[in-house]
A and B are shown apart, each in its own frame.
Chain A
Amino acid sequence: MIKSVLLAIKFAPLLLVYAAFLVFNHEFVNPLLAAWWSSHEASQGLLIVPVAIFLTFRQLDRRQDFRLQPSFASVTMFVIAIAGMHLGRLVNIQLVEFSTIVVAFILIPLALYGVRAQEHGGAKESYFPALYGLLALPVWDFSNDLFQLGSLKATELLLGWSPIPHYVEGFRIELASGVFVVDAGCSGLRYMVSAVAISLLYAYLYFSTLRARLVCVGSLLMLALLGNWLRIILIVIIGYSTDMQSPLVNDHATFGWVIFAIMLAGWMIFMNKYEQPE
């Protein structure tokens, strides 16, 4: 209890600005939270921002000579982001509005305390906590078409090796017993975004060399991609073998998360063994 009070006093300016941001901008923040809550592709924002804030506090708490040490470049960017937020609302461009909220929010600690890139009365600090928060930007949807096309091509290739008779036209895969559509939700983007967020965090927390971090991030991205393709091909096979009667044919979103969770568990076991001694 006393420790919490001391921490609150220590971080009082930061908490004050965070509180003011949430209270005075609730008309902007509430729609963003609602969008994260209801979106499959962007819901990671609900976890990414708190994790970024936690990492920021953890980094700041390690400073031995803790005090306000503003970065006026970040202060300027914050003011620009706040202006952008209001201008985005004025012209009703939600992407601008949401993006500037995220940017402004993660700039607050940078503006007040800066980042000590060189060792100075404590450990060398990193921009990672702030940059990690940028993963919550609502920009992932732009890559959805690419992943959707990739999923279609991979499914087409894998089906070509199978004995299942099929015909592909556009994003439709026609079997004798029915039709599957590789639609926007089949792109696998949601698993990709989760994989990026988890692997970057893991690499930051547990690895120190660039090579290890690249292996960590690259391997999970690859697994997320392959997992989605596996999900689609399995659904097609299940549909074919059950004459489209399996409930998975119509409702397979959870099935995808089950595959992702199994792959993630395997990846974590492998990464645990791969961790190098610090």
Chain B
Amino acid sequence: MGTPIQSATGWQRVKGWAAVFILLSSIIVSGPLIDTVIKARAFVPIADVPPLPGYQQIETLPPPFELHYPGAAKVWMYSLQEHTGVYVVAVFYQREVQGSELVSSENGFLEKDRWRQRSAANVLVGGEYEFRKVVHQAEPQQTVNILTQYRYASLVEATSPVKAKIIGLRDVLMGSNGSVQISILTRGNRLGDETDLNPAWMQALVLKIEDQLAPVR
């Protein structure tokens, strides 16, 4: 025999409508709340490409590299004076939206259909800064190296896109002024090693970037 059917007590009714209220509140309030607290936050504009010792400012990248970072807030591009054929690019993002974001499969420096990833490994640049080095190859036997590091206002750096997304979320919640991807680009057949960059130059670049990303107070 089943339990006898009972009508709802006053307390059960209150609990029932409290649940409706909580559900409706979270649906209606959460969007505007996020808009007010986070999306409406002011961002300090990123400066134009600054002069740095050891770096030569450039306007465009030489082939086969081509910049594809839609919606970037600012791009700093340099060639290194000491290492011919080594290019350093800092791509800044602020107020990211879908299709215009720091970590995206659409972003890159190479024509997607032509180039295949051959190998990837983490390396130290300037003896201190960890980058993800990916070797790309295209027919016939053309090779380029792209080294990538993501940096955030919280002064945390990442080489993994997944970790970068998570840090990005934390920074957005904490009052970030944006994020940056530092990339070092070289053709595979050049002499020398792009990881052997002058530590003082790398430090100067990173400090300049950290200035730009200082959290919004």
CB <8 Å contact, B19 and A79: no
B6 at the interface (CB under 8 A from A): yes
The interface residues of chain A lying within 8 Å CB-to-CB of B38 are 90
Q: Which of B17, B23, B172 has the most CB of A within 10 A?
A: B23
Q: Given that A17-B24, A108-B23, A112-B23 are known contacts, is A65 also in contact with B31, CB under 8 Å in the complex? A: no
- B98 neighbours in A (Cβ, 8 Å): 89, 92, 94
Q: Do A68 and B19 touch (CB < 8 A)?
A: yes
Which one, A75, A89, A91, contacts B23 given CB within 8 A? Answer: A75
Is B26 a contact partner of A13 (Cβ separation < 8 A)? no
| B residues contacting the other copy or chain, number (CB 8 A) | 35
- Whether B101 contacts A92 by the Cβ 8 Å rule is yes
User: Chain B, 1-44, contact with A by CB distance < 8 Å: what is the 0/1 string?
Assistant: 01111111000110111111011101110110010001000000
**A83 to B30 alpha-carbon distance, docked (Å):** 7
Tell me if B97 is interfacial: C-beta within 8 Å of chain A: yes
Residues on A with beta carbons closer than 8 Å to the beta carbon of B20: 13, 16-17, 68, 112
**Per-residue 0/1 for A18-58: is the Cβ within 8 Å of any B Cβ (1 yes, 0 no)?**
00110011010000000000000000000000000000000
Contact yes or no, A67 B12, CB < 8 A:
yes
Q: Given A20-B27, A65-B7, does the pair A119, B16 have CB atoms closer than 8 Å?
A: no
Residues of B within 8 A of A120 (CB): 2-3
Instruction: Give the nearest-CB partner of A65 in chain B.
Output: B5
Whether the pair B27, A75 counts as a contact (CB closer than 8 A) is no
Whether B31 lies near A86 (C-beta < 8 A) is yes
Q: Is the CB of B12 within 8 A of A69?
A: yes
Q: Which residues of B contact A93 (CB under 8 A)?
A: 165
Is chain A's binding surface mostly helix, strand, loop or mixed? Answer: helix
What is the bound-complex CA distance between A83 and B16, given in angstroms?
22
Is the interface on chain A under 10, 10 to 19, 20 to 34, or 35 or more residues?
A: 35 or more
Q: Which residues of A contact B15 (CB under 8 A)?
A: 68, 70
Separation in Å of the A11 CB from the closest CB of chain B?
12
Query: A87 at the A/B interface (Cβ < 8 Å)?
Result: yes
Measured between beta carbons, the chain A residues less than 8 angstroms from B23 are 17, 20, 75, 78, 108, 111-112
User: Apart from A68-B15, A78-B23, A92-B98, what 19 extra A-B contacts exist at CB < 8 Å?
Assistant: A27-B31, A65-B5, A65-B7, A67-B7, A69-B16, A70-B16, A70-B19, A75-B23, A78-B26, A79-B26, A83-B26, A83-B30, A86-B34, A91-B169, A92-B101, A112-B16, A119-B2, A119-B3, A121-B5
What are 7 A-B interface contacts by the 8 Å CB criterion?
A17-B27, A65-B6, A68-B15, A68-B16, A92-B101, A111-B23, A119-B3
Question: Can you list the 8 inter-chain pairs with the closest CB atoms, starting with the nearest?
Answer: A68-B16, A70-B19, A121-B5, A91-B169, A65-B5, A67-B8, A92-B101, A79-B26
Interface residues of B (CB under 8 A from A): 2-8, 12-13, 15-20, 22-24, 26-28, 30-31, 34, 38, 96-98, 101, 104, 165-166, 168-169, 172
